[in-house]
């Protein structure tokens, strides 16, 4: 479980205030910058940080930063009890959370800074009120915060020209396609919307989502079909058609391939439960 040591939301210190902890803290520190600051690092380098920057310090790591004028930030000090936030990762500036990598002890600019700040606000309220289930709620909020950080760091690895170019459009189109998977989506339609060729579409899609439009669409349709089949009033054929499969034989083959059983066997297992 992740537990709070101390936290602050929209915190103001005196102008030009300086934080200097050469031995760091016993806890992890996630800091979201809300006014211009300068960060200093043990190798002698310094880096100016604009509002929206953030950093996750590991325990025992040098902390040194100062406000250029107004001191304004949100932050969370937290402990990891029994999770895989390992000090072994400090030297390589990497951190493992449930098998996933988080880069630590360096500044970066997340796309979801507003959502991260909202999560810190919720953590802060739980910390102040401390109701019977506050520990469980703060653990969940902290895990969500760390997952958002990880997603933003993955997006950071995408070149800037791609993030500001085709990626946002392709991401929005993918979400539209998967949320309306019952519609007869075609590759040519996707290409027309994005104004790119087929080879470019497949190249970008594979790079960003590690899949293809067809593979994603089949998975979304199967998920919807399985959900519809939980309603005993819906026939297997109706669930298939309402999920976007126009051929029941094709649906049966895909269901067996991806789910390991036939639609009839799946329906029988639901009724057995």
The pLDDT tens digits for 122-144 are 999 999 988 889 999 999 999 99
At 7 the three-state DSSP class reads strand
**Domain containing 121 — which CATH number?**
2.60.120.280
Region of 96 please: left (phi>0), alpha (psi -120 to 50) or beta: beta
Task: Please check the confidence at residue 273 and state whether its pLDDT lies above 80.
Answer: no
How many domains does the chain contain in total? 3
**Domain containing 245 — which CATH number?**
1.10.10.60
Task: Please check the confidence at residue 179 and state whether its pLDDT lies above 60.
Answer: yes
122 shares a domain with 184: no
Quick check: 173 and 217 in contact, CB under 8 A?
Answer: no
151 shares a domain with 176: no
* Closest listed residue to residue 247, CA positions, set 258, 259, 233, 237: 237
Task: Please check the confidence at residue 9 and state whether its pLDDT lies above 60.
Answer: yes
For 256-270, what is the HEC assignment? Answer: HHHHCCCHHHHHHHH
Q: For the chain, what is the mean pLDDT?
A: 89
pLDDT number for residue 100:
54
pLDDT number for residue 90:
37
185 shares a domain with 54: no
Q: 140, 157, 174: which is the final residue of a domain?
A: 157
At 146 the three-state DSSP class reads helix
At 189-219, the pLDDT tens digits run: 999 999 999 999 999 999 888 999 999 999 9
Residue of higher predicted confidence among 46 and 157: 46
166 shares a domain with 70: no
47 shares a domain with 105: yes
124 shares a domain with 234: no
Mean pLDDT throughout 218-234?
94
228 shares a domain with 210: no
183 shares a domain with 128: no
Residue of higher predicted confidence among 166 and 81: 166
81 shares a domain with 30: yes
Q: How confident is the model at residue 115 (pLDDT cuts 50, 70, 90)?
A: very high
* Closest listed residue to residue 15, CA positions, set 68, 65, 64, 73: 68
At 66-84, the pLDDT tens digits run: 999 999 999 999 998 754 4
Q: 125, 141, 157: which is the final residue of a domain?
A: 157
Q: Look up the domain containing 191 and give its range.
A: 162-214
pLDDT number for residue 99:
52
At 18-68, the pLDDT tens digits run: 999 999 999 999 999 999 999 999 999 999 999 999 999 999 999 999 999
33 shares a domain with 151: yes
Sheet holding 63-67, edge to edge: 18-21, 63-67, 37-40, 46-49
Burial of 169 (0-12, 13-18, 19+ CB in 10 A): middle
The whole-angstrom separation of Cα 129 and Cα 17 is 28
105 shares a domain with 235: no
pLDDT number for residue 143:
94
Q: 157, 174, 199: which is the final residue of a domain?
A: 157
Model confidence, pTM = 0.70
53 shares a domain with 15: yes
């Amino acid at each position: 479980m992740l537990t709070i040591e101390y936290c602050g939301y929209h915190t103001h210190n005196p102008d030009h205030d300086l934080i200097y902890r050469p031995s760091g803290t016993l806890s992890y520190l996630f800091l979201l910058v809300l006014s211009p600051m300068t960060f200093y690092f043990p190798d002698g380098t310094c880096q100016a940080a604009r509002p929206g920057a953030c950093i996750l310090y590991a325990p025992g790591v040098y902390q040194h930063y100062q406000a250029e004028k107004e001191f304004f930030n949100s932050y969370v000090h937290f402990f990891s009890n029994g999770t895989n936030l390992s000090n072994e990762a400090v030297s390589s500036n990497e951190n493992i959370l449930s098998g996933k990598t988080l880069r630590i002890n360096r500044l970066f600019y997340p796309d979801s800074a507003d959502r991260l700040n909202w999560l810190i606000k919720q953590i802060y309220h739980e910390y102040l009120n401390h109701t019977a289930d506050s520990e469980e709620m703060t653990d969940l909020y902290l895990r969500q915060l760390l997952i958002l950080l990880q997603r933003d760091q993955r997006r950071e690895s995408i070149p800037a020209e791609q993030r500001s170019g085709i990626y946002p459009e392709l991401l929005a189109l993918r979400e539209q396609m998967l949320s309306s998977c019952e519609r007869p989506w075609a590759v040519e339609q996707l290409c027309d919307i994005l104004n790119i060729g087929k080879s470019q579409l497949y190249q970008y899609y594979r790079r960003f989502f590690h899949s293809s439009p067809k593979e994603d669409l089949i998975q979304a349709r199967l998920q919807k079909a399985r959900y519809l089949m939980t309603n005993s009033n819906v026939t297997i054929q109706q669930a298939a058609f309402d999920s976007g499969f126009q051929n029941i034989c094709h649906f049966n083959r895909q269901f067996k391939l991806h789910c390991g059983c036939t639609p009839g066997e799946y329906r029988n297992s639901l009724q057995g439960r």
